[in-house]
Amino acid sequence: MEQEISAVQLEAKKQLASKSEQIGTVQIQAKKQLYEKTASIGRHQLDAKRQIAEKTAALGQHQLSAKQQLSVKAATRFENPGRKS
């Protein structure tokens, strides 16, 4: 009788170890997928930040160009007060 109980306990321990190993494998896979998704999101965020920086720089250049044009027009008006541009 005791041998039967020991055999059942041994089988139960084996099954428990197998289930624990399976759970560990699933957890590792889930963590790996989470890290991959996080890295992907990070790349998208970096790309978005780069695009924003490029657009901001382009806007800054347009503003600078507009200010330069206004300065040229103002200087032209100052030099030629009768001339309309």
pLDDT digits (tens, 9 = 90+) for 5-20: 898 999 999 999 999 9
Q: Within the chain, what is the greatest distance between any pair of CA atoms? A: 119
Percentage, residues of the chain above pLDDT 70 = 94
The pLDDT tens digits of the residues spanning 44-53 come to 999 999 999 9
Domain boundaries, the chain: 1-79
Concatenated DSSP letters of 6-31: HHHHHHHHHHHHHHHHHHHHHHHHHH
Q: Quote the CA–CA distance of 64 and 59 in Å, as a whole number.
A: 9
- pLDDT-derived band of residue 28, with 50, 70 and 90 as boundaries? very high
- Per-residue confidence (pLDDT) for residue 73, from 0 to 100: 83
**pLDDT confidence bin for 21, thresholds 50/70/90:** very high
Measured CA distances, 57 to 27, 50, 51, 52, 53 (Å): 44, 10, 10, 8, 6
Considering the entire predicted model, what is its pTM? 0.46
Spatial distance between the Cα atoms of 30 and 51, rounded to a whole number of angstroms = 31
